[in-house]
Structure 1
Amino acid sequence: MIDGSTAADVRPDENATGRSVPEWLWVIAIGLIGALVFLIPYLQNPYFYYIGDNPESFVPNWYHYGEQLLKGIWPTVDSAGWYGGNYIGEAAASTWNPVFVVCYIIVAQFNSLTAAAAFVMIAHLSLLSMGTYLLAREYGAARVSSTVFAFAVPLSGFTLYYEASGWPAGLAAFVWVTWFWWAAHRFARGASSPLLPFLIGAMAMTIGNPYAALGLIIVMFGIGVELLVRKNVRTFVNLAIMGACVGSVAVLVFFPLLGAMPVTSRQELAMIANDTFLVPGVGDLVSSSAPSYLPAITNWGGQVRENLPSTYFVWFAIPLLPWLRWRTLLKPARSLVSLGVVGAIYAMLSFGPSNLWLFRWPIRLIEYLYLAMAVLLAVVLSKGLAKDHFRNRALATVGLVGVGAYLSFAVRPEFWRMHALATVLVLLFFFAALWAYKKRGWYALGAMLLVGTVGIATYQTNRIPYPGVAVGPSIVPASDVNRVKAGTDDYKGTYLQLASQGLVKGTSEQDDGEVMFGNLSVLTGHESITRYSGIGFTEFTSALCMDYKGSVCPDAYRNAFRTVQGTDIPLIDALRVQTLVLQDALFPDVVNNPPPKGWSVAERESGRTVWTRDAPLAYPGRVSWASRGTTVVSSISEPATEQVKFNAPAGGGTLLFARLDWPGYSATVDGKTVEVRNGDAGLITIDVPAGEHTLVLDYETPGLRLGVTLLAGATLVVLIQTFWWWRTVRRTRRRNDAEPNPRSDGGVADATTEISPVLTPAGPHDERI
């Protein structure tokens, strides 16, 4: 038993090792070691970080953005991207985020997109690990307990299996909200200038994920409440000013999205409703330390049971509850008001309705709740483990673990072997940690908890998804860039793929780019109309019977060859398509007959038939049609602009462009403004005057100028605020040096004491803080 004669009886004190290792070095070490830990899932399954939206949307676009940046082109809007080409409008593309810009350039150096995805995801998980550590320390947790949870939080179920595997924008939002929470709290207690939280807050906002903006607001609210409780109005005002400056960055990031809304279907998501989709239950918290618990939650395909541990928290959190010294929370080293407020808000949202305005699927917020819980547990654990009533506490731990094991079995009894082994591992690791605490003390406890965390994560990612249980598409997408380019090398010009993702029979149909969905088409080096978009372009996708990732219905072929209104050409000509890829399974009658006049069969293999256009396109640039008598002399085309020289007959003419009419386009003829019309299928149509003229078509991102102006203004305000903060600190230190201020304990206040001790600070020599 744990008794008073052991090292465990000594209150955790980190001075023995502590002061010899600088805090910044400790933080970097956590990030580097974390990178090795988070590499484990990838080593067991190269596709672990390449699931869902990662291969269909994000990673191919990162590769594409990197190629563009290396050519000196900033990805804003690209007409060649069609309904997926409004990169700034997508917001979640994170094109304003400096970290992601660096990632784009690095990803463009990879040939394997699975490896590229792993690199970016592991880097962000490492940043999350570092941020979690700093946040726990900021609230008064010891190094050991902060380190333990720093590795555990990134390995929690939703963060690892959902965000890191397929929702990178959500992961990045979580990362930077965590860092912002730390920086804003430091600023609130006077330990940091406002510049630090402003820069990190801007980093979070430029992710373009609405959950980042929501997180910043909730964190600011929580800290603001704490300041008001402490009656520190001056710091509250300074915090509000800094927060408003961070909020102004939202204009640069989200106004382009709002500007694109009129032509997209995104506004249809704004509602308050509950269809129970991805809504966790409060009861799932009871099993949140059971590694094999697969909650009964409504998810894709009408399933009412999860195949992933989406509500898993930390394996040792619940077993540890009977051993914690909860009474120490009565006198914490630092105020926990903001921690409680933030945690309470996320608890309500995590178990709220499925749709709350633009925020869908409340399980997305459970990781923020777990972060708050982790910080609280780290603070309590910093006081050491209780040493009395060993038998009762041990029985309580076994009982709590048993409840989690039973609930895991009750939901998925067919996986009973996995549940049994996971339960045994939890108990073995936990009681080994208790034994290490008794024999070697505080650091041994932390070491064993870390060993258990790595061991559990290794087993969990090896067994889940359970063998034979499909999660998402069972057919892995293409990932080798060179193979995709080689498989599509014979394509000519712009190509249109008409295929249904549900009819793909095997991985072999996709490996060489035979059939691709989402943004994988950008790997070919050819312009493709098949793309992925989170906002879409309703009129265009409806015209082709195409969904948000390029999968089409059987009517798509007929729609592609129907005549465009107001012209004498089919839609496929209006799109300037030179290569048509048809899926044999979707169009068996079409591919077994000769192609239409003007097209020839170029290839038949791997479930696809490829047709190519016989004659060259009639017009230069992106002009796809001109009315009778109108001659297009030349066209200089760029992703967001086009300059066309034309000659129109008496009465004028009309030009049709292979460009979508995104809000933001404007046109002039010889410097005089003309109307840009939204034509059939959303294609830009412009009526031009008679005679020889030059038409200039140009795109300006809605809200861009305002966003840049506000960003510049906000930066100036924060710099002034920082200068004022620095002067105040300097004056305070000079006053303290000149006139020592006696402390209540008889000592002298240290010159480094925070200038605004809004949160009860620890003594300057307490390494636990």
Structure 2
Amino acid sequence: MTIVETEIPAATSEPLRTSRKTIPDSVLTLGVAAYVVVLGVIAAVAGVHFFYVGDNPESFIPLWHHFGTELRAGHWWTMEASAWMGGNYAGEAAYAQWNPFLLLAYIALSFFGNLAIGASAVMIAMLALLGAGAFLLMRSYGAAKAPSVALAGAVPVTGFTLFYEAAGWPAGLAAFVGVTFFWLAVRKQTTGKWPPIVTFVFGFLAVTTGNPYALLGIIIVLGGAFIELLLARRWRPAIHLVVTGILVGATSLLVFLPLLGVQPVTVRQELAGIVNDTFMVPDLGDLSGASTPSYLPTITNWGGSVVESLPSTYLAWFALPLLPWIRWGALWRVLRTRSSILIVTGIFAVTVLGPSNLWLFRWPIRLIEYLYLGILLILALGITVGIARTAPRRRIGASAVIVAFGTFLAMAATPNGAKIHAVSFVLVAGLIIALAFVWRRWGTTAAMSVILAGTVLVTGFQTLAYPRGTPTIIVPDDLSQMTAQASSFEGTVLQLAEQRLAGPEAINTGKLLFGNLSAPLPYESINRYSGISFRALSEALCIDYKGVTCPDSYNRLWKPVAHTQGDLADALGISTLVIHKPSLPDVVEDGPPAGWKQVESDDVRVVWVRDEPLSGNGRVSGTSDGVTATSVFDTETAEDVDVNADQSGFVTFARLAWPGYSVTVDGAKVDYVTSKEGLLQVPVPQGTSTVSLTYAAPGLAVGWMATGAAALLAIAQSVIWYLGRRRAGALPALSAPEVQAVS
């Protein structure tokens, strides 16, 4: 390979490129996406429910399915009273209600009758978008096409992205995809390729994923790009970038104001804090094993473990062994004109090694994928400027030491995995030898094919060695099967069960459902997942964020509720109790209370229903003495009730009193009351009256106004940007040489 350095013309800012004609970037972008789909399919086939573990089945996938079904029916709720603690979707902020691409994903998911298959389709599609965005980002910084394809294809299968984000934390994956495209847009804007409105749109898409790490990533990318512009004394683009950043920041009000509005009633009342409990905090030793597919980092994680069970800090099999071959001097000359890469990557490196909790952000390992994106971008540029050919034996020796040292670290961390580490060593060593041979014999493009093939092999190896599911306890995914298990249910359902006592039969069959698994099913369940929870109900019923109850929950159901003539079970409108036998053996033995009957019993559970199910009166669930109330209209967010009262009293609703409710009596606004259990109660006067209540997420109107105003200003800014560009006649030159690699 011959390396030729050349200055670019002052009026352009073209990427580094080869002299021969190659495949268009648009085609290569689709190619990278298709390649990542293959990697995703390998993971889905090799693992057991690979993309359906953790928060995917407990929170996101069933709820996304429900969202898609509702959207197809013409409904889009910011809050669903029937979902109880998990129903304040705007307040949760994490469910991306305003992101058009994710809304399309919800609709697509709703056509799947099997949630695991649907999850695989959606997650693989998101990984494919990530690969495409990484490729375009590398090209925007000047990386040649072949290394951009090969290294962008590795971004979606770095350890944390594949084994955590795609498998179980889709909000984090969506944020990573959004930040990658935002970084691309910022680069294009600062080099005069795209107007600010494009950056604004990508910023909006990143912010509306609802994940706070998207906002952090946006700030870091903007900071890096801004400093690069200042160093180059490119004042006009710097000013435009600041304005764009402010406008993108304004859209965050739409996502996070509702969260702040409901915060006083939730269990998460303290958002700020700096703490280090070492949970999910990687160190430099973990990063040293980043090219060893079998390395399991020694970080504190769930269950008190101090060694990971997944390769969460894995980067790429070729990344560290390539370092001795990089022409660092030539690469530095390129990076000097692209300092934003070093700044952004450097900041992410610091945050990855930071404390476990820093304000809204906890578990620094969540930022490792952003760090790895920057590292692979730098490597793509390093390959573009050309691989060093001097002192080959010394460089080969250095690569061999890196591979061997990585294997040693893996063995030291988990000695019981010796066979897996041996396979990992042989696989990586063989691939490095093949890469060196092909590179020397046929050049860069052929060598990148080895990287692509090697990434396929390593992905298959890792997902076989570390499948994300387990063969015994598999979360149910067949909606028809789960629906069949609810055939005896009537009305609103409460499940009384401790998840730690639920065995494989209870979970595999869908007889017990935790989290949001009941969301797409045709009944109302109080056991729903919530990232924020409603503190009063959580304490009154002794129920946690996944719908898991404590042994005393059953007794608490029969306690009276103020301003009603019944107990908590009545006030919640419960008509069916699903009781896990191992969790409450004494309760099961005593049998159902008066007014209830048993309709189902097996080794796992009993099902009790009321002799006369509660239904037909909207969400009115109780009244005080002398008051009758008839619901004449009700939806998830509104209700009208005709009241006849012999004396002043209260009407209680089977609705949590989320901040945002507006209540009127005969058209006059009144203040509602929150029961100690968290239920909404409305004071009514003597005589006949009409109670009307509506819900609007607090801060949502302000958020929409801020977003709309920001969008209009972004359009105006783009017009100014375009006119300024025309007056200038040409873009200012980048103050450094480009490097052209010729094979």
Q: Classify the TM-score, shorter chain.
A: over 0.9
Pairing partner for 2:614 from 603, 614, 617: 617
Q: Match for residue 749 of structure 1?
A: none
Pairing partner for 1:478 from 476, 487, 496: 476
- Shift in CA distance, 278/759, structure 1 to aligned 2, threshold 3 Å: farther
Q: Match for residue 288 of structure 2?
A: 286
Give the Cα separation in 2 of the matches to 1:300 and 1:415.
20
Q: TM-score, normalised by structure 1?
A: 0.93
Whether the 8 Å contact between 2:2 and 2:741 is mirrored in structure 1 is: no
Whether the 8 Å contact between 1:129 and 1:151 is mirrored in structure 2 is: yes
What is the deviation of 1:387? 1.3
What code does the residue aligned with 1:241 have?
V
Residue by residue, what CA displacement relative to the aligned partner does 1:172-213 show, whole Å, maximum 9, x if unpaired? 101110110111011112121111111000000000000000
Residue by residue, what CA displacement relative to the aligned partner does 1:43-92 show, whole Å, maximum 9, x if unpaired? 11250000100000000001100111111111310000000000111111
Q: TM-score, normalised by structure 2?
A: 0.96
- Shift in CA distance, 56/473, structure 1 to aligned 2, threshold 3 Å: farther
Give the Cα separation in 1 of the matches to 2:563 and 2:322.
72
What code does the residue aligned with 1:190 have?
G
The question of 1:691 aligning with 2:687 is answered yes
Pairing partner for 1:717 from 688, 713, 719: 713
Give the Cα separation in 1 of the matches to 2:547 and 2:270.
20
Give the Cα separation in 1 of the matches to 2:133 and 2:48.
26
Q: Match for residue 741 of structure 1?
A: none
Give the Cα separation in 2 of the matches to 1:664 and 1:269.
21
Residue by residue, what CA displacement relative to the aligned partner does 1:340-378 show, whole Å, maximum 9, x if unpaired? 111111111101110101111011011111111111111
Give the Cα separation in 1 of the matches to 2:18 and 2:383.
17
Q: Match for residue 426 of structure 1?
A: 428
- Counterpart of 1:332 in 2: which secondary structure? helix
What code does the residue aligned with 1:240 have?
V
What code does the residue aligned with 2:588 have?
V
What code does the residue aligned with 2:623 have?
A
What code does the residue aligned with 2:635 have?
E
Q: Match for residue 55 of structure 2?
A: 53
- Shift in CA distance, 387/609, structure 1 to aligned 2, threshold 3 Å: same
The question of 1:568 aligning with 2:547 is answered no
The question of 1:516 aligning with 2:513 is answered yes
What code does the residue aligned with 2:543 have?
M
Matches within 5 A, 1:157-196: 157-196=159-198
What is the deviation of 1:157? 0.5
- Counterpart of 2:167 in 1: which secondary structure? helix
Give the Cα separation in 1 of the matches to 2:289 and 2:720.
50
- Shift in CA distance, 759/198, structure 1 to aligned 2, threshold 3 Å: farther
Give the Cα separation in 2 of the matches to 1:361 and 1:616.
46
Q: Match for residue 210 of structure 1?
A: 212
What code does the residue aligned with 1:257 have?
L
Whether the 8 Å contact between 1:488 and 1:513 is mirrored in structure 2 is: no
Pairing partner for 2:156 from 151, 154, 165: 154
Give the Cα separation in 2 of the matches to 1:535 and 1:421.
44
Residue by residue, what CA displacement relative to the aligned partner does 1:450-500 show, whole Å, maximum 9, x if unpaired? 1111111111111115xxxx9799621110011111111221111000111
Give the Cα separation in 2 of the matches to 1:410 and 1:511.
36
Give the Cα separation in 2 of the matches to 1:759 and 1:189.
12
- Shift in CA distance, 434/618, structure 1 to aligned 2, threshold 3 Å: closer
Residues 261-270 or 53-62, more deviating: 261-270
The answer for unaligned runs of 5 or more in structure 1 is 1-7, 734-752
Give the Cα separation in 1 of the matches to 2:741 and 2:57.
45
Whether the 8 Å contact between 2:435 and 2:451 is mirrored in structure 1 is: yes
Matches within 5 A, 1:374-393: 374-393=376-395
Pairing partner for 2:660 from 647, 661, 664: 664
What code does the residue aligned with 1:340 have?
L
What is the deviation of 1:322? 1.0
What is the deviation of 1:146? 1.1
Give the Cα separation in 2 of the matches to 1:175 and 1:761.
31
What is the deviation of 1:14? 5.7
Q: Match for residue 549 of structure 2?
A: 552
What code does the residue aligned with 1:706 have?
V
- Shift in CA distance, 471/354, structure 1 to aligned 2, threshold 3 Å: farther
Give the Cα separation in 2 of the matches to 1:103 and 1:15.
38
- Counterpart of 1:427 in 2: which secondary structure? helix
The answer for unaligned runs of 5 or more in structure 2 is 6-15
Give the Cα separation in 1 of the matches to 2:636 and 2:538.
20
Q: Match for residue 676 of structure 1?
A: 672
What is the deviation of 1:338? 0.8
Whether the 8 Å contact between 2:656 and 2:679 is mirrored in structure 1 is: yes
Q: Match for residue 261 of structure 1?
A: 263
What is the deviation of 1:730? 3.4
- Shift in CA distance, 422/669, structure 1 to aligned 2, threshold 3 Å: same
What code does the residue aligned with 1:78 have?
E
Q: Match for residue 11 of structure 2?
A: none
The question of 1:225 aligning with 2:227 is answered yes
Pairing partner for 1:271 from 273, 283, 298: 273
Pairing partner for 2:73 from 63, 68, 71: 71
Give the Cα separation in 2 of the matches to 1:65 and 1:365.
28
Pairing partner for 1:85 from 84, 87, 99: 87
What code does the residue aligned with 2:339 have?
V
Q: Match for residue 640 of structure 1?
A: 637
The question of 1:495 aligning with 2:493 is answered yes
- Counterpart of 2:334 in 1: which secondary structure? coil
- Shift in CA distance, 117/619, structure 1 to aligned 2, threshold 3 Å: closer
- Shift in CA distance, 732/177, structure 1 to aligned 2, threshold 3 Å: same
Whether the 8 Å contact between 1:656 and 1:686 is mirrored in structure 2 is: yes
Whether the 8 Å contact between 2:630 and 2:641 is mirrored in structure 1 is: yes
Give the Cα separation in 2 of the matches to 1:399 and 1:758.
39
- Counterpart of 1:523 in 2: which secondary structure? coil
- Shift in CA distance, 303/471, structure 1 to aligned 2, threshold 3 Å: farther
Pairing partner for 1:536 from 525, 533, 537: 533
What code does the residue aligned with 1:271 have?
G
Whether the 8 Å contact between 1:494 and 1:528 is mirrored in structure 2 is: yes
What is the deviation of 1:303? 0.6
Residue by residue, what CA displacement relative to the aligned partner does 1:607-651 show, whole Å, maximum 9, x if unpaired? 01000011243771101111111111333110001100111123x
Give the Cα separation in 2 of the matches to 1:22 and 1:228.
33
The question of 1:627 aligning with 2:624 is answered yes
- Counterpart of 1:39 in 2: which secondary structure? helix
Whether the 8 Å contact between 2:386 and 2:741 is mirrored in structure 1 is: no
Whether the 8 Å contact between 1:34 and 1:129 is mirrored in structure 2 is: yes
What is the deviation of 1:439? 1.5
What is the deviation of 1:139? 1.7
Matches within 5 A, 1:337-486: 337-465=339-467, 475-486=473-484
Give the Cα separation in 2 of the matches to 1:49 and 1:294.
20
The question of 1:655 aligning with 2:654 is answered no
What code does the residue aligned with 1:349 have?
T
What is the deviation of 1:725? 2.0
Whether the 8 Å contact between 1:139 and 1:335 is mirrored in structure 2 is: no
Give the Cα separation in 1 of the matches to 2:136 and 2:358.
31
What code does the residue aligned with 2:247 have?
C
- Counterpart of 1:335 in 2: which secondary structure? helix
Q: Match for residue 8 of structure 2?
A: none
Give the Cα separation in 2 of the matches to 1:272 and 1:313.
28
- Counterpart of 2:621 in 1: which secondary structure? strand
What code does the residue aligned with 2:525 have?
S
Give the Cα separation in 1 of the matches to 2:439 and 2:297.
33
Residue by residue, what CA displacement relative to the aligned partner does 1:236-271 show, whole Å, maximum 9, x if unpaired? 111111111111110011101111100111233531
- Shift in CA distance, 396/612, structure 1 to aligned 2, threshold 3 Å: same
Give the Cα separation in 1 of the matches to 2:575 and 2:265.
27
- Shift in CA distance, 602/207, structure 1 to aligned 2, threshold 3 Å: same
Whether the 8 Å contact between 1:514 and 1:606 is mirrored in structure 2 is: no
What is the deviation of 1:606? 4.3
